[in-house]
Chains A and B, each alone.
Chain A
Amino acid sequence: GAGVSQSPRYKVAKRGQDVALRCDPISGHVSLFWYQQALGQGPEFLTYFQNEAQLDKSGLPSDRFFAERPEGSVSTLKIQRTQQEDSAVYLCASSLDSYGYTFGSGTRLTVV
């Protein structure tokens, strides 16, 4: 596609519920990144894929967070047993090389 597509755009989850956030990167982009952006803050790195391989997951805040990219294209970020502190915008970015990352519009997750 023309850009990075993320869905849903907004998600409200009850505390304890599991959620799945989807990212469709730009076709052909090898690298895919997930970032978490809390209100009033800059994005913070969560995890990085090169094709289907998850090469860096050092930013995932707890074992409740899990990401996958099974066919090297679409990626899903799953959060189990959501907590209020998980409320944030989750941004996905893809890159053909390390020159410029193209970001999606994000998924705004609100845990109530």
Chain B
Amino acid sequence: AQKVTQAQTEISVVEKEDVTLDCVYETRDTTYYLFWYKQPPSGELVFLIRRNSFDEQNEISGRYSWNFQKSTSSFNFTITASQVVDSAVYFCALSEEGANNLFFGTGTRLTVIP
């Protein structure tokens, strides 16, 4: 069975601080895909990244970076020098090979205080 755990329900940081959002997953498949989505107050889910299970290279995109570690089944997301516009709910999700859907965690609400 697949499972995604985002243990941090809410995080508050002061602007310009770095923040890491944790994601731990469970799957029996050897081929799977991990995603991060941002959900601002407007409600739509904004795609941030997809990573497949065979690519453990860390990725950096501007102020965003992702740390994928298969040994600990984690796919953590770090925002460097946070900004107020980063305030949103962030979801980690898992999709198994051949599956038709994404399995989401419960999300982490990030509030960046000016």
A residues near B (Cβ < 8 Å) are: 3, 31, 33, 40-45, 48, 55-56, 59, 89, 91, 93, 98-106, 108
Contact = CB atoms under 8 A, between A and B. Distances in A.
B101 A91 contact: no
Please provide the 10 A-B residue pairs with the shortest distance between their CB atoms, ordered closest to farther: A42-B104, A45-B101, A103-B45, A48-B100, A105-B44, A105-B43, A56-B100, A106-B43, A100-B47, A42-B106
B101 A48 contact: yes
Contacts of B44: 3, 103-106
A45 B43 contact: no
Interface string B69-97: 00000000000000000000001010100
A100 B107 CA distance: 19
B61 interface: no
Contacts of B102: 43, 45, 101
16 contacts: A41-B106, A42-B107, A43-B45, A43-B91, A45-B101, A48-B101, A55-B100, A59-B101, A98-B95, A102-B47, A103-B44, A103-B47, A104-B44, A105-B42, A105-B43, A108-B43
Interface centre among A31, A43, A59 (most CB of B within 10 A): A43
A44 B91 CA distance: 12
A43 B94 CA distance: 12
Contacts of B33: 98
B50 A100 contact: yes
B64 to A, nearest CB: 16
Contacts of B104: 42-44
A47 to B, nearest CB: 9
Given A41-B106, A43-B45, A101-B47, 10 more contacts: A40-B107, A42-B93, A42-B104, A42-B105, A42-B106, A43-B91, A43-B102, A48-B101, A101-B102, A102-B47
Q: Which of B33, B44, B91, B105 counts the most chain A CB atoms within 10 A?
A: B44
Which of B4, B46, B50, B100: most chain A Cβ within 10 A? B100
